[in-house]
Structure 1
Amino acid sequence: MSFIESFFGLIGDLTWGWALIPFLVIFGCFLTIATNFVQFRYFKRMFRVLKGDNQSSDPNTISAREALFVSVGGRVGGGNIAGVAVAITLGGPGAVFWMWAIALVGMATSLVECTLAQAYKRREPDGSFRGGPARMIIHGLGKDYKWLAVIYAICLIAAFGIGFPAFQGNTVAGAAENAFGLNRWITGIVLTAGTGWIVFGGMHRIAKASDIIVPVMAFGYIAMALIVIVINIIHVPGVLIDIVANAFGLQEAVGGGMGAALAQGLRRGLFSNEAGLGSAPNVAATADVRHPVSQGITQSFSVFIDTIVICTCTALMILLGDVYVPGAEIDGVVLTQDSLASHLGTWTSYFLTVAVLLFAFSSIIYNYYLGDNALTVLTKNPQASLIFKLVLMVIVFLGAVAPGATAIFFFSDPMMGVLALVNLLALMMLFPILRRILRDFDEQRAAGVHRPRFDPTKFPDLDLDHTAWDHREAAPD
């Protein structure tokens, strides 16, 4: 067992501990420049997806907005509450600035990976769509690279389909136990039953659940943060100045100064918004849209919501309070919880617990879909999907009732590192294709086309599924 742990530890060191984070940053900067700052050019367009009429006319598919909320539900989680608190504690207020920076760069990365996933999506017999980096590799790079797609699929199942649901189940049960004194077995049974009901309903039920859960949890959390900001409005400029000053070493809140702020901000930002990790494209490919870039823009907005909005809410609640002590050893959730209580009272600990429950539950159902989608790359046997659903429910239950059991999923982070490397390699190889697709969208917009359509016949050299772009009425995007 120790040998296995050492092996995965080495993988983690060679990815997250050495090259992956700098590479994600550099690659994101490259994509931003090479696409002519696409995330800023189409920033205003991102908000169109929130319109109430954003529904697909095809009952077998999901809309761009539903895909957005599933993705946000997966990105937004413990990292937005506990992770931000840890980053500020270890890196000082300046860590927040570097989280913003990596999010703005990551918006381009997410747009690129999700656009390519959309372009290479496949229509299923039931009319729905499947896609993601694995299919992008197979159909974009060719059958000779299927082995790379298999590595990607295995890592996605290991990290997101198996490992992370156990941790999320543990988070939910722990929060319910600490706040309400609820027995872990009760939480485990309820959580497992809820998970089973949603995942057995397929992607449609996942999308409908996320369409309800995500707005409630996001807007509720944002509203609480706005209240804190309003009652501390005179201190907000000072906090923003501290964030910028600490980010560039003009002030030193913790040992390591600017270096600590930079390292913590980049690391926590990347872990939170997942841009470049290859997870969100699996969901992005399920949307029924007119043009691949439309969903790319929508998923870029997902990164904005996750980091620029939600993470900033957490940061301001902490930095505007008097609980935060730079460099102190404290649990991230506790720091956020105590900071919110110092502003609005102890009742808010219950609110934050409910937020954690919703964040974690939305992540579980998102992680399920990622694992299930990866499984279809490895086998077409429908029984495999049924077995995976049952295994997921067992894992969620064990994570909830036996918190020590989550230690056996030590392979999750290393596998996510390999996943990211495979995804980034594929993106680099397919970037010329991305530029052609983006150029098609830009040219239609320049010609006055308000809602560009994708015509696969313009790309006869690409292995595209023309039935996925048959010009029926897709949802507004």
Structure 2
Amino acid sequence: MFEEVVGTINALLWGRGQLLIYILLFAGIWFSYKLNAIQIRHFSHMFTLLKSSSKAEKGQVSSFQALCTGLSARVGTGNLAGVAVAISLGGSGAIFWMWVIAILGMATGFAESVLGQVYKIKNNQGEFRGGPAYYIQLGLNKPWLAVTFAVCLFLGYGFSFSAMQTNTITDALRFAFDIPELYSGIVITLLAGSIILGGLKSIARFAERVVPVMGILFVSVAVVITLINLSAVPAMIKEILLSAFGLQEAGAGAMGAAIKNGIQRGLYSNEAGAGSVPHASGSASPVPNHPVTQGYIQMLGVFLDTIVLCSCTAVIILLADINISGEMEGIRLTQTAMTAHLAAGGVYFVAAAITLFAFTSVVANFAYAESNLHLFKLDNKVGRGLYTALYLLMMLWGATATLKEVWSLADMALGLMTLVNIFAIVQLTPTVIALNKDYHAQRAKGMEPTFDDTVTRVQGQCTAGVWSNNRCLVK
């Protein structure tokens, strides 16, 4: 019965109707148009803001820590196993559509991260929290929709995603070292527990130290493999483009599979529009102290995740002389490809990479769902303790679950979250545009942008005590 319900919902969202694919493409095009292709025109500004991103208000999370936390959740099985799934089911052309959804998704990610900042709240420990549930409640005044999103988030990031990440780690360790899934699952759960019990600040510090190192190492290996196989790169690029537009033997059917799997796995990897990253954005105390700052920083996260890291995995797989069966393959395909390049060491490298990538996701996913406890008045010792226990139990379940069960549940949760979030951010477009204009107007005058809620009007109201004059004007 459970599998039937999940299957029916996924068929509606991701299946023959491909509802979410059209919605996500619409959102990306909508915000790219409304913000005048901000992801292209101001591409370099994202990197400029990194210079001051490590600064923050005392006791708060910095923009750089929020970026690393966002990347912790983004950079996971989607980058290694998800890319392999996309290629195995959609062919090499799926990578092209991953790039498309990433470029469009950068604008969507900007919009939702700006909203996560402007409507953030302070919890009972004096820490910032934000996310779609808060900008739905405060900006749109729709508490019922905020609760709906939060429930979907708990189902996804609070439970099924942690199980899926654990499943991928244990599968990779079993393949590389023949370690029983249950044993490695117990160890992973204990390690994750030791970090998440320290709260968001502990998670942010962990992400800040681990994410940059693991990203640089993975990219370096991919670059070396590309240089070794440089003569095969033009043929690989040609294959990606031909497959993307159905110009090979299989024709339109192959094109449809490429689009569906590329966008689906691209979304799962970079999460643009899903409403997850605004939680990391809302936790930050940015410099300059303006919501748009965090919009740019998190937009950079979409680029790094999909255009850089997912492309690295695609290059590793497509440059390997291996057979891609057309059946659903996950981390095993990536390991097989790496073995073709690095012999036996490839299996161990991918096992280590996926363990780190997925483990950081497990830790960050906890923070996303935990941010919504305040909405249910469970932001206390009992509420956090109960949620933590359930989260860790789901990790243990995921260690021995089947790949199909875990991915299906994750797809459903992500799809439902995305539906609610896209509806909300499109409704809040006037606020995003107003804040963006205010930010750049101040920059044009040579000022360091700051948000003044009595000057820049936003929809709904902000939380008292968060911004300059402790209130927002109602539009």
Give the TM-score, by structure 1 length: 0.91
Structure 2 residue 211 is matched with structure 1 residue 217: no
What is the Cα deviation at residue 258 of structure 1?
Answer: 2.5
Q: Give 1:377 shift.
A: 1.0
Counterpart position of 2:473 = none
Q: How does 1:433-448 map to 2 (within 5 A)?
A: 433-448=431-446
Q: 1:69-468 maps to which residues of 2 (within 5 A)? A: 69-142=68-141, 145-252=142-249, 256-289=253-286, 290-325=289-324, 327-329=325-327, 331-380=329-378, 382=380, 383-400=382-399, 402-403=400-401, 407=405, 411-449=409-447, 451-459=448-456, 462-465=460-463, 467-468=465-466
Q: Name the CA distance, whole Å, in 2 between partners of 1:380 and 1:340.
A: 45
Partner of 2:472 in structure 1?
Answer: none
Partner of 2:4: 6
1:45-56 correspondence to structure 2 within 5 Å? 45-51=45-51, 54-56=53-55
Change (3 A) 1:226 1:6: same
**How many Å apart are 1:102 and its aligned residue?**
0.8
- Identity of matched residues, %: 39
The change in CA–CA distance for 1:255 and 1:424 in structure 2 (over 3 A counts) is closer
Does the 8 Å CA contact 1:95/1:262 hold for their aligned counterparts? yes
What RMSD, in angstroms, separates the aligned Cα atoms of the two structures? 2.2
CA distance in 2, matches of 1:91, 1:184: 29
- SS of the residue 1:334 aligns to: helix
**1:338–1:184 distance in 2 versus 1, CA, 3 Å:** closer
1:334, CA displacement in angstroms?
2.0
Q: In the aligned structure 2, how far is the partner of 1:217 from the partner of 1:29? A: 32
Q: Residue 186 of structure 1: CA displacement? A: 3.3
Give, in angstroms, the shift of residue 381 of structure 1: 5.1
Q: Give the count of matched residue pairs.
A: 463
User: Which amino acid in 2 is paired with 1:390?
Assistant: A
Contact 1:90 1:254 in 2 (8 A): no
In 2, distance between residues paired with 1:59 and 1:416?
34
| Unaligned 5+ runs, structure 2 | 470-475
* 1:404 shift after superposition: 5.1
Q: Which runs of 5+ in 1 are unaligned?
A: 472-477
- State the Cα distance separating 1:330 from its structure 2 match: 6.0
SS of 1:467's equivalent in the other structure is coil
Greater alpha carbon shift after TM alignment, 207-216 vs 302-311: 207-216
Return 218-227 or 88-97, whichever deviates more. 88-97
How far apart are 1:206 and its partner, in Å?
0.3
For 2:401 and 2:4, locate their aligned partners in 1 and report how far apart those are by CA, in whole Å: 22
Q: Using a 3 Å threshold, how does the CA distance of structure 1 residues 381 and 218 change in structure 2: closer, same or farther?
A: closer
1:221-275: per-residue Cα shift (whole Å, max 9, x none)? 1111000011112222222222223222333467723233222222221221111
CA distance in 2, matches of 1:77, 1:156: 18
- Deviating more after overlay: 180-189 vs 190-199: 180-189
> Aligned AA for 1:75?
R
> How big is each residue's C-alpha offset from its partner over 1:151-175, in whole Å with a ceiling of 9 and x where there is no partner?
1111100111011111222222222
**Is 1:34–2:34 an aligned residue pair?**
yes
Bigger drift between 305-314 and 187-196 goes to 187-196
Measured after TM superposition, the shift of residue 411 of structure 1 is 4.3
Deviations 1:423-466 (A, max 9, x none): 111111111111111110121222233x4221122136651236
Task: Indicate conservation of the 8 Å contact 2:442/2:449, yes or no.
Answer: yes
Residues 1:55 and 1:470: Cα distance change in structure 2 (over 3 Å): farther
| Separation of aligned partners in 2, 1:104 and 1:356 | 25
Q: 1:97 to 1:288 in 2, by over 3 A?
A: same
Cα drift, residue 408 of structure 1: 8.1
The Cα of 1:69 is off from its aligned counterpart by 0.8
- Relative distance call for 1:5 and 1:352 in structure 2 (3 A) is closer
Note the C-alpha offset of 1:321.
1.8
Residue 475 of structure 1 corresponds to which residue in structure 2? none
The answer on whether the counterparts of 1:248 and 1:258 sit within 8 Å (CA) in structure 2 is: yes
Greater alpha carbon shift after TM alignment, 312-321 vs 334-343: 334-343
Q: Give the Cα separation in 2 of the matches to 1:252 and 1:296.
A: 42
> Contact 1:134–1:374 at 8 Å: present in 2 too?
yes
Q: CA deviation at 1:406?
A: 8.9
Q: Which amino acid aligns with 1:306?
A: D
Contact (CA 8 Å) 2:119, 2:463: kept in 1 or not? yes
Normalised by the length of structure 2, the TM-score is 0.92
Counterpart amino acid of 1:107?
A: M
Match of 2:21 in 1: 21
Aligned partner of residue 362 in structure 2, secondary structure: helix
Q: CA deviation at 1:116?
A: 0.7
Residue identity matched to 2:105: G
Q: Tell me: CA distance 1:45–1:179, structure 2 relative to 1, closer, same or farther (3 Å).
A: same
Q: Distance in 1 between matches of 2:439 and 2:109?
A: 17
1:354–1:368 distance in 2 versus 1, CA, 3 Å = same
